[in-house]
Amino acid sequence: MSDLERKLRPVCVASLSIVLLAGCAPTGYKITPGPVDQTLEESVVLDEGGIGVPKIALIDIDGILINHRKQSLFGEGENPVSLLAEKLDKAAGDRSVKARIVRINSPGGTVTASDLMHSELMHYKVRTDGERPVVAVLSDVAASGGYYVACAADAIVAHPTTITG
């Protein structure tokens, strides 16, 4: 083997490895714009009309439960624990909110984050004197910490295909 072949061999092996492993890498990134001022805004899902119509607050808990800001492609995202607390505070302050539905799609996460979210739901129930029921709706996955958070609700509803435990 010549000196040139010895020098080119690692380069060829590295190039071939990159080509073969390229199928395992993500092929693109989804970029979703979001508001810069991250204040909570109420949105109406169904309006039956009328004045002082009772509301049902809807909150989603998605992804891994952690107690710090989730990293994204363009910077830091929301802290799931803080976001849940903010949404529950807003619902507790609105007297027209008569119930809370918590949709959970999470494989779980850290023990502390799961426990903090469970505690936030329990605290919400105490603040509202138990007058406003909390219903957990389990989506695709509600395992580990996701299920533990659901246990703070007054009722749990799971889809037939939900993976939980």
- pLDDT tens by residue, 83-131: 999 999 988 888 888 889 999 999 999 999 999 999 999 999 888 887 8
Q: Taking the CB of residue 164, how many other CB atoms lie within 10 A of it?
A: 17
Q: Report the pLDDT value the prediction gives residue 48, as an integer from 0 to 100.
A: 63
pLDDT at 158 over 70: yes
Q: What is the pLDDT of residues 20-49, one digit of tens each?
A: 555 555 555 444 555 555 566 666 666 666
Q: Which residue has the higher pLDDT, 77 or 34?
A: 77
Q: Report the pLDDT value the prediction gives residue 29, as an integer from 0 to 100.
A: 47
Q: Report the pLDDT value the prediction gives residue 161, as an integer from 0 to 100.
A: 94
CA distance 115 to 81: 10
Q: Summarize the confidence of residues 64-80 as an average pLDDT.
A: 76
What pTM value is reported for the model? 0.68
CA-derived radius of gyration, the chain? 23
pLDDT at 152 over 50: yes
* Count of all residues that appear for the chain in the document: 165
Q: Report the pLDDT value the prediction gives residue 123, as an integer from 0 to 100.
A: 92
> Is the dihedral angle over the CA atoms 160, 44, 52, 152 positive or is it negative?
positive
Q: Report the pLDDT value the prediction gives residue 154, as an integer from 0 to 100.
A: 94
CA distance 130 to 149: 17
Amino acid (one-letter) located at 94: D
